[in-house]
Structures are given as C-alpha cells and as structure tokens.
Structure 1
Amino acid sequence: MNAARIVFTIVSFVSAQGTRLNDVILGLQKATVFFENEYDRFTLDGVIGFQMLQAHLEDTLKGWSLSGPEAASQFKKVHDLVRRLDFTAAKAIEAVKVTDPVYFNGFQTVLQVDFWSFNPQWIKTDIKLVYPEVRETECFGENISDRCITQLLGTWENNGTSCLESDLCKRMMTTLNCQGYSLSHQLLYFIIVERKKCSNVVGAQHMDSQASLIVQGYEKIFCSNMLQRNLQIEENDYPLAEQDLFLEYVMLCGQAGFSEFFQAQWLDHILAWQQPGGCFGESGQKYTKHKRVKRRSNNLEGGCLDHTTSVAVGALGGYLRFYGTSRP
C-alpha cells in the first residue's frame, strides 16, 4: 500500500470514529434531558446506570485521545454532560432515599461515581469458554442476588462486615451454565469483588495479582457467554423482549473492559431504539421465559422503562469511552 492510500485509510477511519462519537454524544444528550425531566420517577436501579455513565464520561475526559477538527467541541459536550449529570443525579439519589429507603441503604455504595473504576486495558473474550448448553430457567432470583451483593458491600445490616461470603453465595455466583439476568448478576458480583478488593472471596488474603487473575477469570467466563448470547439476539433480529438484556450485557461487560461488546452495528441498533424523548424501552413489550420483569422498574413518559433507559446509557457510556480514549 502506497503512502497516499495509507493516509487516506487513516483519515477515513478517524472520520468514521468521529462521526460515531458524535452519534453517541447526541444520544446521551437526549437521554440526559429525559433524566433531568423524570429524575424523581427513577428507581435506584435506574439511577445506577446514569452514575455508571458519568464514570465513563469522566474517565473519557481523563484519557481523551482525539485531535480532529471536532475534537474540541466533542470534549466540551462531554464535559457539559458530566456537569449536568452530577447535578441531576444528586436530586435523583435524594428522591430514591425517600421513596425506597431500605433498598437505598443496601445499595448506596454503588451510587457513588468513583466506585466504578476501569481496567487500564481493553481485553477479549474466549470462545472456548462458551457453555455447550445452558439452563432453561434463571439460576436464581433477584432477592438472593441482592443479599449476596449487600454482603460484599457491607450493607446487609447496620454496620455490617463487608466482603462477607456465605457458602450459598459462593456456590450460586460461581455456578456455570446460567443464562439471562442470572449471568449478568454473576458478573456484577465479581465486578464488585474486584472494586471492593474482597480477596477472601477467592481464597486469598490480599487482592494481589493471583487473586485478581481468579476474579478476571470468572469475568471472562461470564462475558464470553454474554457475548455469545448477544450474537444470538443479533441473529434473531433483536427481539423487543430481549433488548433490555442485550443492553445490560453490553453495559456490564463494557464496564469490565471487554472491547468486543462495542460493535459498530450494535451501536446503530441501540441508537435506533432510543425514543424521540430520549428514553429507551416500551411498557407494552411482552415478556418471555427468557425475559423476567424487573422487580424495580418504572414505566415513564413516552412508554419507556427506567431500567432499560439506565442500561442503555450505561452501554452508550462504554461506547463513548471506547471511541474517545486511546487504549491498547
């Protein structure tokens, strides 16, 4: 390839990357307006997605690598989103504290933006880790999952001990062949193990390199299977009843640093699912055995769901960080 073609290829790639970044920023601006208007109707689960989004935005600004003609404008827009989200999230958190105090006390730790740190490098899944078959039903329900996560957080009781793990939680969170939301809750559990440095959960005294490798090994197992499931959803033309799950997988595996979840064609569909008012999800969608009704999810203006909106913005925040920063 001669020098002229190399330059043209690089310029074309940078241009396409800049265009996609503009699309993501526009989608996030619309979602932020919706959040500003509806913040007091969001459940705690709904607010978490916007806090994860803010973490993505702040990390993107720290690692900003773009230098094209629109880079300065894009940087300013992202900075403005951080400011607006910081203001609105504070009001939303106060509202949740009043409307759902027990759940708030259990999960207030994950409402802190700085809780959601990121791995310094992008990583890949491994197709060899995909389960040959999966269970037909969920491995466990949300109530027991919440119990296990609050034991890690130390909020399972007043002044509770953090990084507590029962035999039930250990067995449940490491069970293979799970599908659906059980699979994403298993991943979330180990993300929290990593963020809280709960080395005892993996049988270590300190969160050293060996303990981290064990945690990351479980994360790779789960995200390898979540990627496979999303590819199946794509092959089936993104059934409406599975879009929430699809988005949750992108959000959580993106949070864990798996770059394969930021596929360009997926982004096109995610942005197409956004309603004109900025939200995601339709209250009239039908639920199948693979799509369980989220216990805490509110119907919002425009026939949208706060949980679907939450996981969508969390996913889009990952795309923004993927396109806006330079990481190997």
Structure 2
Amino acid sequence: MLYLLFLLLFIACKGSFLKTEPDVRSSIISVLEKVTVFIENRYRDINLDAVLGFRVLQGIVTQNEKWPLERELLAQHTQVESMIKKLSSLLEKACLYDLLSEFAPILGPHFWIIPHSWNQTDPLMAYSSFDAANCFTEKMSDACFTYLLGTWKENGNSCIVTSACRNAMTKPACSNYCLSHQLLYFLFADVKGCSDLLFLRTQDYKNIFCASMMKINLEIENNGFNVSSRDLFMENIMLCGMSGFSDFYKLRWLEKILTWQMPKEGCFGEPSKELERSSGVENQKKLLRRKVYFAYV
C-alpha cells in the first residue's frame, strides 16, 4: 500500500496536477501519517510488500530532488522526509532482509527508479480474452526473478534467462498476478541492465501487459471494487505507473483508494488473523511471500 500512495504523491507534485487538485497531496500525506503510526505499533508484523513500498518511496523522494519552491510544498516535503526517517528505522527492526535473502536486491534503497517519460496505454493492445487458469505458479515466477537478480545461489550470476522463464514470462493472455509478475520480470531486467535478446522487446511487452492490466482495472471498477480484487487493482497501478503509463493515475481511483483506510487502525483492509497466530521463521516466510490483500498495510 505504501508504494502506491507514494507514487500517487509523486504524481500529485507534477505541475499540471498541482494546478487542478491542490488538496491531493495533503490528503495523501494525512493517510500516510496514519499508516506510519500503524507500522510504528506493529512493525514486527510487517510484510514484504510494505518494505518494498518503502524502498520505492525512497527512490521517488531521493530522485525527485527538484520539488516546487512554494512554501506549502516545501513544508509537505519536510513531512515526507520525516516519515521516511521514522519508517526506515522501523523497517530495519523488522529484520525481513534475512528472511527473504533471495529478494534482497529489490529491498535495497537504490534499486528502484522513477519514470522519466510518460506514455498512455492503447486499448487495442490489450488481450481480447484472458486465460482463466494460472499461466504459471508463484514458485516458477520466484525462480525466474532470482535468475535475473543473481540470487538463485550464493554469488550467482544475474540476468540469466532460461527457456522455461522465457516461455512463462512472455506467455500471452495471462491475467491477474501472473500478468503483473510478467511485467515485474521486465522491470527487474530494466533495472539490472540485462542484455538478453528477449529484452530488446521490453517496451513492446510493457505496452501489451499494461494495456491488459488497464482493461482488468476498469473491469474491477465496473464491478464495484470487490474487496478480493483491491490488492490486484492497486498492484496494477503501482507496476504500470513505474513502467511510465500515466493513465493509471486517475483522480477518481485515488479518491476511492483513500476511502479504504481504516480510520482508527490506519491500515487498509483487515488485519490477517493468520499472521497474528503465526510464529517462527518458516511461518513468517510463507506468509510474507503471499499476496493477500488483508495482510498488514
């Protein structure tokens, strides 16, 4: 959740957005302050998504050094920096880095980069229909990620593209988390600077994936934002936003997302009872790797 809100905060600082929606940043910062308090109280239960979101946040703020000079914006920048310092200290205490060493590179403070140019999705590039069955397993996608990141073994080489990964990560008509993981695969390759011939078509795949993810998000919206679809909805915004597609940053979507925060607790959704009952490193590993909307933050 943190990653999405801070990406939206970044978009809200764009000049054209500022002129039309002056209160957007204040609303997001207010929500984030409540999230920060929640994490402060429950940092031992924090999940991988929250740490990942925080690292994306750091990349956005550190790379976006030229904030507008208006007094109000400078004050808000100070608020954001204060939250970053507090969250950084709390997430270091969470000790997730040892639990998920295979994903350590993406949890580094300088891994993520923000887009420097923006595109719009083309509806004509979206899949006409989606494969109802899963295209590949989470175990398969995790393995492909580690081959790119170089964490498949100690001191392993990075940017390895196996034939199985090539087939899985370019399989057409995938949907839901399989589709978002396909996009994530190409984002990792971008950041790592991988030079396999597959990645000469990175932008083509991004265009197809994000057009299809926009189609899915519009369907989720038309269906009334069912609770079970909200995590996927937000993940699609985050990943395609990071891929440079600005049409995922819709004001009506932001306004809807902000209503999902629980006002007293500060989190989004409901605490996972399964996580509350869990104990031990192995249980934490299993739970932290799962994509469950009701996981903390």
Which TM class, normalised by the smaller chain length? Answer: 0.7 to 0.9
Counterpart-to-counterpart distance in 1, 2:44 and 2:189: 30
> How far off its partner does 1:216 sit?
1.8
Q: Retained in 2: the 8 A contact 1:46–1:297?
A: no
SS in 1 for 2:110: helix
TM-score (norm 1): 0.76
Of 58, 65, 69, which residue of structure 1 is paired with 2:62? 58
Residue in 2 that maps onto 1:312: none
Residue in 1 that maps onto 2:87: 85
Residue in 1 that maps onto 2:96: 96
Of 290, 296, 319, which residue of structure 1 is paired with 2:287? 296
Of 248, 268, 271, which residue of structure 1 is paired with 2:258? 271
Return closer, same or farther for 1:198/1:274 CA change in 2, 3 Å cut-off.
Answer: same
> How far off its partner does 1:269 sit?
0.9
Residue in 2 that maps onto 1:24: 28
Residue in 2 that maps onto 1:160: 156
Return closer, same or farther for 1:143/1:248 CA change in 2, 3 Å cut-off.
Answer: same
Question: What amino acid is aligned across from residue 268 of structure 2 in structure 1?
Answer: F
Counterpart-to-counterpart distance in 1, 2:21 and 2:231: 26
Q: Retained in 2: the 8 A contact 1:227–1:261?
A: yes
- Cα RMSD, aligned residues only: 2.5
SS in 2 for 1:124: coil
Query: For structure 1, which segment, 51-60 or 176-185, has the greater mean C-alpha deviation from structure 2 after superposition?
Result: 51-60
Q: Retained in 1: the 8 A contact 2:149–2:158?
A: yes
> How far off its partner does 1:54 sit?
2.5
| 5+ long unaligned stretches in structure 2 | 1-14, 274-284
Within a 5 Å distance, the mapping from 1:206-225 to structure 2 comes to 211=200, 214-225=201-212
Counterpart-to-counterpart distance in 1, 2:151 and 2:182: 19
Return closer, same or farther for 1:298/1:180 CA change in 2, 3 Å cut-off.
Answer: closer
Return closer, same or farther for 1:66/1:223 CA change in 2, 3 Å cut-off.
Answer: farther
TM-score (norm 2): 0.83
Q: Deviations over 1:132-160 (max 9, x none)?
A: 11101221111110000000000001111
Q: Deviations over 1:252-279 (max 9, x none)?
A: 1111121111100100111000112221
| 5+ long unaligned stretches in structure 1 | 1-10, 204-210, 286-293, 310-328
Residue in 2 that maps onto 1:208: none
Within a 5 Å distance, the mapping from 1:224-263 to structure 2 comes to 224-263=211-250
SS in 2 for 1:305: coil
Residue in 1 that maps onto 2:279: none
> How far off its partner does 1:65 sit?
3.1
Residue in 1 that maps onto 2:295: 305
Of 254, 264, 269, which residue of structure 2 is paired with 1:281? 269
Residue in 1 that maps onto 2:179: 183
Q: Retained in 2: the 8 A contact 1:40–1:91?
A: yes
Q: Retained in 1: the 8 A contact 2:127–2:212?
A: yes
Question: What amino acid is aligned across from residue 55 of structure 2 in structure 1?
Answer: Q
> How far off its partner does 1:26 sit?
1.1
Counterpart-to-counterpart distance in 1, 2:21 and 2:254: 12
Matching of residue 76 in structure 1 with residue 66 in structure 2: no
Return closer, same or farther for 1:296/1:257 CA change in 2, 3 Å cut-off.
Answer: farther
> How far off its partner does 1:15 sit?
5.6
Higher RCO (CA-CA < 8 Å; seq separation 6+): 1
Q: Retained in 2: the 8 A contact 1:42–1:298?
A: no
Return closer, same or farther for 1:298/1:38 CA change in 2, 3 Å cut-off.
Answer: farther
Identical-pair percentage:
38
Within a 5 Å distance, the mapping from 1:34-53 to structure 2 comes to 34-53=38-57
Q: Retained in 1: the 8 A contact 2:183–2:239?
A: yes
